[in-house]
Each structure stands twice: as structure tokens, then as C-alpha cells.
A and B are shown apart, each in its own frame.
Chain A
Amino acid sequence: DVKVTQSSRYLVKRTGEKVFLECVQDMDHENMFWYRQDPGLGLRLIYFSYDVKMKEKGDIPEGYSVSREKKERFSLILESASTNQTSMYLCASSLSPAVIGYTFGSGTRLTVV
């Protein structure tokens, strides 16, 4: 089975800190995605990547950046964390997203205080 591993399940950070959320997949997928999940708002796409060093903005990229230096790793960076970035962050990968769908990681619940 494909595994998508998010390095932290729970994180607590202070306002203004630079925060790194790491995601690693083990099935050589080209496509990787970062979503945030908030109650009543479903999943909203932050950034995605369809190849190494390639990245595209999603629907809510403000305040975030990403890095994809290796195919298996896709990092989400909060440049200066704010309280409104407190959320559940979900990473996903796929060989063919439109046809196969996503494999998700377990999520990182980030609290910014």
C-alpha cells in the first residue's frame, strides 16, 4: 500500500514562528498536494506539485510556501505563523489524481498561540 507520512500529528507554535510541515510518500508519485481542513469548510487546496521543483498555487496560498526538492518529499512552510493558520493540514499524493484519486496522510493538527 502507498504510504503518505506526515512527520507530526500535533504541533504547537508561537505567532511569528516559521513552521515546516513535512510530507513523504513512498510510491514514486509525481503529484503531491497540501490541503487545510477546517470545520464546515471542507478541504481547501493550499499548494500542489506535479513534479520535482514544480509548484502551483491552490485556492488559499497566502501565508504559505512549499518546497519539493525530491520527488518523495513535499514540505509546507508557514513563513510567519498566525493564529488564523490554526488548522488540520492534510498532505496527499497520487499517480493520477483525476482517475485514481488521492492517498492521504494522517494529518498534522497545528495550533498557533
Chain B
Amino acid sequence: AQSVTQLGSHVSVSEGALVLLRCNYSSSVPPYLFWYVQYPNQGLQLLLKYTTGATLVKGINGFEAEFKKSETSFHLTKPSAHMSDAAEYFCAVSLNTNAGKSTFGDGTTLTVKP
């Protein structure tokens, strides 16, 4: 079984500031980890993923995340926030079993202040 905890349901940053969205997972086997973004009234879009290999992964729109096995974390960062980054972000974990279905966190809403 797997689970995901996103710390902080709401995060607010100023434009140009660092974005840090936290995600911790629980998994009995090596996980596959994902971040998705959802803009208002839209479906989710894949931002980035970790499967195997390099633990620092880069995604679209300047986001990146680092897989830290010892901390069971997969935090999402962006060096400089832009107004267009305002959205809801979901962390998800999958195992390579049971059709690979993903378990999602509760989501973090990112607000970017001018």
C-alpha cells in the first residue's frame, strides 16, 4: 500500500520568491513519484516524475523535485515564482503493480502575490 502527505494545503509566495511545496510518501517498495498541476477549471497536467536514476528531476515551467529516500520526500521547488504559477499542485505515488494506479495527496494551492 502507498500513501502521500502534502504539508500545507495553502502556500503563498511573492512573485520572484522561491516556491517550495512539500510532499512525503509512504511505500513498502520503491515508488514512482509524480507532481501534477491543475489550473482553474481544468484537468491535471503532469509537471514531472521520478522513476529511477537521477534523484533530481526537472519538469516543465522551471519546476524541479528531488527524491530523497532517507527522508521519504519528494518536494517540489521553483527558484522564482511567476504569477502564472498560481494553481493547485498534487503529489502522487505509484507502484509498478496493480495496474500502476496512483494515490494522490490532498493538494496544495499556491498563491502568488504581486
Residues of A within 8 A of B (CB): 4, 9, 31, 33, 35, 40-45, 48, 50, 56, 58, 90, 92, 94, 96-107
Determine whether B17 belongs to the interface, using a CB cutoff of 8 Å to chain A: no
Contact count band on B = 20 to 34
Determine whether B95 belongs to the interface, using a CB cutoff of 8 Å to chain A: yes
Determine whether B14 belongs to the interface, using a CB cutoff of 8 Å to chain A: no
Mark interface residues in B90-114 (1 if CB within 8 Å of A CB, else 0).
Answer: 1010111101111111110000000
With A40-B9, A102-B46 as given contacts, are A94 and B106 in contact (CB-CB < 8 Å)?
no
Residues in A with CB closer than 8 Å to B105 are 42
Residues of B within 8 A of A (CB): 9, 32, 34, 36, 41-46, 49, 51, 90, 92, 94-97, 99-107
With A45-B101, A58-B101, A97-B100 as given contacts, are A102 and B107 in contact (CB-CB < 8 Å)?
no
Let me know if A40 and B46 touch, CB within 8 A: no
Residues in A with CB closer than 8 Å to B103 are 45
Residues in A with CB closer than 8 Å to B46 are 101-103
Let me know if B90 and A42 touch, CB within 8 A: yes
Let me know if A105 and B101 touch, CB within 8 A: no
A40–B8 alpha-carbon span in the complex (Å)? 11
Let me know if B43 and A98 touch, CB within 8 A: no
A41–B103 alpha-carbon span in the complex (Å)? 12
Residues in B with CB closer than 8 Å to A50 are 99
A54–B80 alpha-carbon span in the complex (Å)? 45
Residues in B with CB closer than 8 Å to A9 are 41
Q: What are 13 A-B contacts defined by CB distance under 8 Å?
A: A9-B41, A31-B100, A40-B9, A42-B107, A98-B32, A98-B94, A99-B96, A99-B100, A101-B36, A102-B102, A106-B42, A107-B41, A107-B42
Let me know if B44 and A102 touch, CB within 8 A: yes
Residues in B with CB closer than 8 Å to A96 are 100
Residues in A with CB closer than 8 Å to B99 are 31, 48, 50, 56, 97
